[in-house]
């Protein structure tokens, strides 16, 4: 079984040069990109030419009537381990049981370690470089707009003439790759996607689950009631249930990932998960596999005025548009001949706070995946990638900066997520 030490040892072959502060995605069987293909295999479906999880993970070759994936947005491996080790009120019991049963393991997220990119990877089985949904904000030059990729709506931006522009229509058929629900249904299975009711039929949900049965839930009790009903329903075809839960991420952004309120939310979830585990142990109606994982973790980011780019107009003057991507992994589209000036500015104003990579480095290192490169991905990344270290970030929004937790970069807190594989029946 894979351990955190095993996973970190593999980094030696992945990291460029003598880099020690970063953790790279391990796309070769130890990453979110591999999980959907293992799910298809566990359902008995064809995955020719695709790589599932490595054989260091359990259950290789097993088959199940149904697979239930619960995605916990924002739950990092290290913080979960810390909460388990310092549990004084018993609310982490279910996680301790999973450790004892050798059901809980680490997994690497993708880069950038952010929700829209990671969920697209989970629901296509393709790395970011191939699906093109790279980050929270993207300059979609083919549509002449900067888009918020969670809301899938355009947002004002400044072009190289200093003028604001926007475009109100999100393009249909945005993804250049097929979705996992299409693959499962094509091979005779059924797919259901459960999200909070407010986003159950959002543009992003429809993009990631175009063929699935989409439903919503209104509370934690409602969510786990529906999960139990799904697990106990009779089925004569392979069945996949995808569940999305967002409270850890939401609270961590607002209050910081170490705030007690984040642990309270996890405790509530953990009690329901423990009840589900006990219930399915008694009555699973066939073979069921419950998977619990996350898209990314978060890094604590105390607010610092020095990272507010409104205080750095000469820096912004070198850019075609304001930065896009993530606060902790920014994409810079630079005016011709200004890349050297941008690098020097970063080194002088924020020494030791960022790594700067040419876009070509992304392809050389496989940072955002290997294989087919979607033609728009390089244009969306721009010329330079600015990777934040420690608690650094860049802020370019016109809104007040109030985020005490962020993600997108390559720290262990952001890049390592838990993977629980819980078989029943």
- Global pTM reads 0.96
Contacts of 226 (CB under 8 A, 6+ apart): 194, 215, 217
Closest CA to 278 of 420, 99, 98, 104: 98
pLDDT of 20: 78
Strands of 8-78, DSSP E: 66-72
Neighbours of 348 (CB within 10 A): 8
Closest CA to 380 of 75, 82, 129, 208: 129
* Contact indicator for 84, 92 with CB cutoff of 8 Å: yes
Rounded CA-CA distance 375/250 in Å is 33
Rounded CA-CA distance 68/59 in Å is 15
Rounded CA-CA distance 39/170 in Å is 30
The token duo for 386 is 């600015």
DSSP element (H, E) containing 330: strand 329-332
pLDDT of 13: 86
pLDDT of 169: 58
pLDDT of 2: 95
139 sits in the region (left: phi over 0; alpha: psi -120 to 50; else beta) called beta
Closest CA to 65 of 276, 244, 278, 233: 233
Say which residue the tokens 């409270």 belong to: 247
Closest CA to 371 of 189, 126, 175: 126
Rounded CA-CA distance 372/119 in Å is 19
pLDDT of 164: 47
Instruction: Calculate the alpha carbon distances from 56 to 4, 60, 101, 106, 292 in Å.
Output: 12, 9, 15, 11, 18
pLDDT of 156: 61
Rounded CA-CA distance 226/235 in Å is 15
Closest CA to 388 of 347, 354, 411, 345: 354
Neighbours of 305 (CB within 10 A): 9
How many Cα atoms within 13 Å fall on the side-chain side of residue 115?
23
DSSP element (H, E) containing 231: helix 220-232
Per-residue pLDDT of the chain (425 residues; tens, 9 = 90+): 999 999 999 998 888 766 778 999 999 999 999 999 999 999 999 888 999 999 999 999 999 999 999 999 999 999 999 999 999 999 999 999 999 999 999 999 999 999 999 999 999 999 999 999 999 999 999 888 899 999 988 876 555 444 444 444 566 679 999 999 999 999 999 999 999 999 999 999 999 999 999 999 999 999 999 999 999 999 999 999 999 999 999 999 999 999 999 999 999 999 999 999 999 999 888 999 999 999 999 999 999 999 999 999 999 999 999 999 999 999 999 999 999 999 999 999 999 999 999 998 888 899 999 989 999 999 999 999 999 999 999 999 999 999 999 999 999 999 999 999 999 99
Q: At what angle do helices 260-282 and 77-85 cross, to 10 degrees?
A: 80
Domains along the chain? 1-425 (3.40.720.10)
Classify burial at 168, counting beta carbons within 10 Å of its beta carbon; exposed 0-12, middle 13-18, buried 19 or more: exposed
């Amino acid at each position: 079984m894979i351990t955190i030490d095993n996973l970190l040892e593999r980094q030696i072959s992945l990291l460029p040069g003598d880099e020690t502060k970063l953790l790279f995605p391990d796309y070769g069987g130890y990453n979110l990109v591999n999980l959907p293909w293992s799910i298809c295999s566990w359902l008995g479906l064809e995955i020719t030419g695709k790589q599932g999880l490595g054989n260091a993970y359990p259950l290789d070759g097993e088959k199940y009537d149904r697979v239930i994936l619960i995605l916990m947005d924002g739950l990092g491996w290290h913080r979960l381990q810390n909460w388990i080790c310092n549990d004084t009120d018993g609310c982490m019991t279910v996680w301790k049981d999973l450790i004892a049963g050798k059901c809980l393991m680490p997994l690497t997220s993708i880069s950038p370690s952010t929700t829209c990119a990671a969920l697209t990877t989970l629901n296509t089985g393709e790395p970011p470089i191939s699906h093109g949904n790279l980050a929270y904000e993207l300059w979609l030059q083919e549509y002449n707009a900067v888009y918020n990729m969670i809301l899938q709506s355009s947002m004002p931006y400044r072009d190289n003439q200093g003028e604001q522009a926007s475009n109100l229509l999100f393009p249909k058929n945005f993804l250049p790759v097929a979705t996992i629900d299409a693959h499962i249904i094509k091979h005779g299975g059924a797919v259901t996607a459960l999200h909070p009711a407010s986003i159950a039929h959002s543009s992003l949900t429809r993009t990631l689950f175009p063929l699935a049965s989409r439903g919503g839930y209104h509370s934690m009790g409602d969510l786990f009631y529906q999960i139990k009903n799904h697990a106990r329903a009779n089925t004569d075809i392979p069945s996949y249930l995808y569940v999305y839960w967002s409270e850890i991420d939401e609270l961590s952004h607002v209050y910081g990932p170490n705030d007690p309120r984040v642990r309270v939310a996890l405790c509530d979830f953990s009690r329901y998960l423990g009840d589900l585990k006990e219930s399915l142990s008694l009555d699973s109606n066939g073979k069921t596999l419950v998977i619990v994982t996350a898209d990314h973790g978060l890094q604590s980011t105390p607010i610092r005025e020095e990272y507010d780019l409104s205080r750095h107009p000469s820096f912004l003057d070198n850019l075609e548009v304001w930065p896009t991507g993530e606060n902790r992994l920014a994409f810079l589209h630079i005016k011709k001949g200004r890349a050297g000036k941008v690098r020097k500015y970063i080194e002088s104003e924020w020494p030791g706070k960022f790594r700067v990579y040419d876009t070509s480095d992304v392809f050389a290192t496989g940072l955002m995946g290997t294989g087919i490169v979607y033609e728009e991905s390089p244009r969306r990344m721009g010329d330079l990638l600015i990777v934040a270290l420690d608690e650094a970030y860049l802020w370019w929004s016109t809104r007040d900066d109030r985020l005490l937790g962020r993600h997108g970069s390559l720290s262990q807190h952001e890049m390592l997520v838990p993977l629980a594989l819980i078989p029943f029946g």
